[in-house]
Structure formats: structure tokens, C-alpha cells
């Protein structure tokens, strides 16, 4: 993603705060899922990381969701 990408801060925070450092293809999956809501975006993060989302710890799911929510681009 380019330096002018409005989602870059969100993915940087996700990597820094939660430890999910997504590659470009994974980032595109999350961006595509966002219109369906934060829960869909969280599922896309786990899918991109190869994590079994239904069996992931609740605190990790909450951390990912809160990180995405707090860092969504404005506009």
C-alpha cells in the first residue's frame, strides 16, 4: 500500500498493537470486508493471518475489533 493510503495507519496500528501484520493481499481482504461491518473485517483479519477465527480467544478478537474501530480512516 502506498504512503497516501488512508488505511495505512489502521494496518500499522493492527501490527503494532495486536501483532497482526498483514501483507497487501490480506489488507485488501480487510478493506473489502469493511462495508459489511467490523465483525466481517475482524473475520477477514483472522483469515488473512490463517487463524481459525471461531476458536480464537475472545480477548484477541476484541483487541482486533477495537484496533480497527479506533483507527478507521475518517471520511
Walk along the chain (75 residues) and give the pLDDT tens digit of each residue: 445 789 999 999 999 999 999 999 999 999 999 999 999 999 999 999 999 999 999 999 999 999 999 999 986
Contact 70, 13 (CB under 8 A): yes
Contact 6, 60 (CB under 8 A): no
Number of structural domains in the chain: 1
Please check whether residue 75 lies inside any domain of the structure. no
Please check whether residue 1 lies inside any domain of the structure. no
Please check whether residue 2 lies inside any domain of the structure. no
Q: Quote the pTM value.
A: 0.91
Please check whether residue 57 lies inside any domain of the structure. yes
Helices (H), the chain: 8-13, 24-33, 38-49, 58-71
Contact 13, 71 (CB under 8 A): yes
Structural domain that includes position 64: 7-70
**Distance, CA of 29 to CA of 48 (rounded, Å):** 7
Amino acid at each position: 500500500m502506498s504512503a497516501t493510503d488512508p488505511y495505512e495507519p489502521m494496518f500499522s496500528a493492527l501490527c503494532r498493537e495486536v501483532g497482526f501484520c498483514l501483507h497487501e493481499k490480506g489488507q485488501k481482504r480487510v478493506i473489502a470486508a469493511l462495508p459489511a461491518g467490523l465483525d466481517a473485517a475482524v473475520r477477514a483479519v483472522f483469515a488473512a493471518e490463517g487463524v481459525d477465527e471461531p476458536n480464537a480467544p475472545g480477548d484477541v478478537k476484541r483487541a482486533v475489533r477495537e484496533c480497527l474501530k479506533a483507527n478507521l480512516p475518517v471520511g
